[in-house]
Amino acid sequence: MSNEAVAPASIASYIDHTLLKPEASEAEVLKVCAEAVEYKFKSVCVNPIWVKTVTKALKGSGVLTCSVIAFPLGATPSDVKAFEARGAVLDGADEIDMVINMAAARANDKGALVDDITAVAEAVHAGEAILKVIIETSMLTDEQKVIACEAAVEAGADFVKTSTGFNGGGATVEDVALMRKTVGPEVGVKASGGVRSLADAQAMIAAGATRIGASSGIAIVKGEQGSSDY
């Protein structure tokens, strides 16, 4: 945890500029890409069907392409998740955000979680991409959050992430702090869901977040209040 707030000028480098609405159009996706280049966000995060489009739009910009896998439910067989992730990486994704098996998480079945995440981690890392693991904190007890984070670390994930933003609840400072404490200093923590202002983002980073997922990225960097749920 840091006692110093990240300056507004630096906050963009933490943000995955996000558009995950299933009905998003190509024009909307390209607009988000242009915004990410203009504001120098860390990545653009989209559904898998848009990875090729985003990769092409961002080429040479330094902004990464991020995609989600088994989104937003996570209730997909692990080999199918791995196949989906492999395809997204082949299409150009630099980072993959996967949703875990929530039934296993709710059952405290760490072994099943490790197996689920490992299958995707191997596919993602084979393509030299980064894996973030969405544990959907709003659906878990603190004990279950810890087990899920431990499983992600054991499986070789690069980040743990709070939320999809689609299943109720979002990131909280308390959850980010718990996740940071659990994964230690080497694994990233992504706060997503309901981060709509500069103050929100700074609070998450102070609690231990190293990445922010938001569709209100422009409002955040301008010091305004965003209105999106994600």
Instruction: Give the catalytic positions in this structure.
Output: 97, 161, 190
Angle at 222 between CA 208 and CA 59, to 5 degrees: 80
In terms of Cα–Cα distance, which of 142, 145, 160, 148 is closest to 98? 160
Cβ(215)–Cβ(186) under 8 Å? no
Cβ(204)–Cβ(222) under 8 Å? no
